[in-house]
């Protein structure tokens, strides 16, 4: 980073979104877009070439997704500064991204008003999380985290699988599946399968 210019890499599989981000900064002298990528793997390649000050990373991309991109970049460049740009405001998605090494988390709906400040803040080593997302994280901070097994079961529930089918796919007894579902319902504060899937999707625990 030069004294007055932050170099940015934009990672998103939608060319229109990348063009929109570039347009937001075209008249600025303190932020410059230096490159683009359309998946997490390409993001690592471009990071090696360009050494940007800040990466703007989408989460949902075909092939190597944003979470994989964050993990790969941070493994090779521990000081990399990455901001997630996403449509998902669920706390679980945000926590996963922040644990992987992201320093910012923004909703695409707020790019026009918040993006420049986020880029500048993160370039200076500060965190920047969209207020609504921060509120969601705070709201669920005391909740029990679903285990990997529980998430796997919930994904199969979302796909319309019955308990017996879930047990067959995961090599579990039907009684064990029922026990896991009871735990899932308690952690999510719900009483049935449909509500569990709805809440888990909204929070970013599973994708529909």
Cβ-proximal residues to 96 (8 Å cutoff; 6+ apart), any chain: 67, 204
Where are the chain's structural domains? Answer: 6-139, 148-203
pLDDT digits (tens, 9 = 90+) for 22-34: 999 998 999 999 9
Average pLDDT in the 68-73 region? 96
pLDDT for 163: 95
Measured between alpha carbons, how far is residue 41 from residues 37, 45, 191 in Å?
9, 7, 40
Domains 6-139 and 148-203 share a fold: no
Indicate whether 1 pLDDT > 70: no
CATH class of the domain at 6-139: alpha beta
pLDDT for 3: 54
Q: What are phi and psi of 130, to 5 degrees?
A: -50, 140
Residues paired with residue 142 on neighbouring β-strands, in sequence order:
none
How many other C-beta atoms can be found within 10 angstroms of the C-beta atom of residue 196?
25
Query: Which fold is adopted by the domain 148-203?
Result: Arc Repressor Mutant, subunit A (1.10.10)
pLDDT for 112: 83
Average pLDDT along the chain: 91
Whole-angstrom distance, CA of residue 196 vs CA of residue 80:
36
pLDDT digits (tens, 9 = 90+) for 147-167: 889 999 999 999 999 999 999
């Amino acid at each position: 980073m030069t004294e007055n210019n932050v170099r940015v890499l934009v990672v998103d599989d939608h060319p229109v979104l990348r063009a929109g981000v570039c347009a937001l900064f075209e008249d600025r002298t303190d932020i410059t877009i230096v490159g683009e990528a359309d998946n997490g793997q390409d993001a690592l390649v471009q990071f090696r070439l360009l050494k940007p000050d800040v990466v703007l990373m989408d989460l949902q991309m075909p092939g190597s997704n944003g979470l994989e991109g964050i993990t790969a970049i941070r493994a090779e460049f521990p000081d990399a500064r990455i901001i997630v740009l996403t449509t998902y405001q669920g706390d679980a998605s945000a926590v996963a991204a922040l644990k992987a090494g992201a320093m910012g988390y923004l909703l695409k709906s707020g790019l026009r008003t918040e993006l420049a400040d986020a880029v500048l803040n993160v370039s200076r080593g500060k965190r920047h999380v969209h207020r609504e997302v921060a509120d969601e994280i705070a709201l669920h901070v005391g909740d029990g985290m679903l285990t990997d097994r529980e998430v796997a079961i919930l994904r199969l529930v979302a796909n319309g699988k019955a308990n017996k089918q879930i047990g067959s796919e995961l090599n579990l007894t039907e009684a064990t599946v029922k026990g896991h579902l009871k735990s899932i319902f308690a952690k999510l504060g719900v009483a049935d399968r449909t509500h569990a899937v709805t809440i888990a999707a909204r929070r970013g625990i599973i994708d529909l």
